[in-house]
Copies of this chain bind each other. A is one copy, B any other.
Amino acid sequence: MIQRAVVLSTGDEITTGKIVDTNANYLAEKLADIGVDLVAVLTVGDVPERLQWAWKSAIAMGEVVISTGGIGPTADDLTTETIARITGKKLWMSDEVVDNIRRLFASIGRPMPENNKKQALFPEGAEIIPNPLGTAPGFRLEVALDGHSSQLIVLPGVPREMKPMMENWVVPWITANRGSTRVFAWRSFQTFGISESALDEAVAGLIKPEEGRVAFRASFPQISLRVTVEGEPGDTQRRLEELSVRVRAALTDNIFAEGETTMEEVLCQIFSERKLKLAIAESCTGGLIGHRLTNVAGSSRYFKGDLVTYSNDMKMNILGVSEATLKKFGAVSEECVREMAAGARKRAVVDVAIATSGIAGPDGGTPQRPVGTVCVALDADGTSVSRRYQLRGTRDWVKLLTSQIALDWLRRYALGMPIGDSALFRR
């Protein structure tokens, strides 16, 4: 039976405060999804006796122990060695893994450094967990120590390597081996344009505790709401559908997607389906909108380009904003962003263009245009909309929120919904 888990996070970079351990949070969420109780998260630095204490404690408390970090090529990567020491298991070197690491280095035209061989060492009895995105594979090992038996799952600390290994290998493995017939079903709703407390109020009383569990998760600027139902197979899916109907009715168009997706993925789908071509003109967001859109594979089907005109000269020369507009209203004005959007649409020969200009801060604010003042405009055949917003927060945050507002406008435009009506953030 696998009911209880312990997560181990190792690394001096965590215990000296250099990085925030987001892996533990990610693993906690994945374990909660499959109904595994996370007993404890133990975090220690790269010190042999502390690692040994943490592993022994974890094995005593959890039927599964998931560890991240400590399997790199350097001398302070001690995870595999620690496990071998406390369990008395010998280490063997996988020729296959050595060959693979060598191939990875060869593909970038370099010889494999000798110390990378360390990443091919495994305790006897370990099953290798493939790592498609890095040199170090992980492994699973069943151990028994002081009368406790436990499944050890060893993963790399780099989140972009660890997460696919967790999702594609570890979660299915635990689900198949936990020895329970109870299942979980869940659905996520991605929202924008409604604050977390308003969201909480909107769903309060909608779902009773015995019907299902509601959890919010803010990954700014996106807030997701997740409904989880637990029970016997066959029944949970139907009950989840019932609860989903209620959530959709309560939140209407603040839900921009269901499932694990992002605004930029939604846009790629909507714009591709409708064969709409898009261009962007950015000032305060500095390229972030283009960056986000092009994070999605296939975005070249609809996204033609992004004219980031940070200076007034560029706004005039590249986008054709008039000098009179800049003089009279300034670069952070609805008048300016309307001309930017129209200019981008014309220069890029596309169906729709959106433009942003604002004061991201921390400097550059004035009493008339304080830091966080942002203007957005959308230009399309027969449509020219602009709005001014007053946002709060740091430079990063103003950029990010502005980009999200712009993407939401594009989604609403393509779906034929009203644009810029939300009271949120409006000045």
Residues of A within 8 A of B (CB): 9, 12-22, 24-32, 38-45, 50, 53-54, 57, 61, 72-76, 104, 107-110, 113, 115-116, 133, 158, 160, 195-198, 200-201, 204, 215-220, 226, 280, 282, 284-295, 297-300, 303-311, 313-314, 317-318, 347-349, 360-363, 390-397, 399, 423-427
Query: Does the CB pair A306–B305 fall under 8 Å?
Result: no
18 pairs, CB–CB < 8 Å, chain A vs chain B? A9-B41, A12-B215, A14-B28, A15-B39, A18-B215, A19-B219, A20-B20, A75-B200, A104-B392, A107-B392, A108-B392, A110-B195, A285-B294, A290-B291, A290-B308, A305-B310, A306-B310, A318-B348
Please determine whether A39 and B44 come into contact, CB atoms closer than 8 angstroms: yes
Which single residue of chain B is at the shortest CB-CB distance from A289? B287
Extra 8 A-B pairs, beta carbons < 8 Å, given A16-B28, A318-B318? A17-B25, A41-B43, A53-B61, A57-B57, A74-B200, A110-B195, A290-B291, A295-B395
Q: CB-CB < 8 A to A391: which residues of B?
A: 108
- Residues of B near A318 (CB, < 8 A) are 305, 307, 318, 347-348
Cross-chain contact of A363 among B27, B197, B298 (Cβ < 8 A): B298
Contact B295 A305 (CB under 8 A): no
A81 CB → nearest B CB, Å: 16
Closest residue of B by beta carbon distance from A315: B305
- Name A38's closest neighbour in chain B (CB-CB): B15
A285–B362 Cα distance when bound, in Å, is 27
> Are B310 and A287 in touch, CB under 8 angstroms?
no
For the complex of A and B, 4 pairs with smallest distance between CB atoms: A286-B294, A287-B290, A17-B29, A287-B287
Report how far A41 CA is from B23 CA in the complex, Å: 14
Chain B residues whose CB sits within 8 angstroms of the CB of A307 once the complex forms: 305, 307-308, 318
Nearest CB of B to A51, in Å: 10
Q: How far is the CB of A298 from chain B (nearest CB, A)?
A: 7
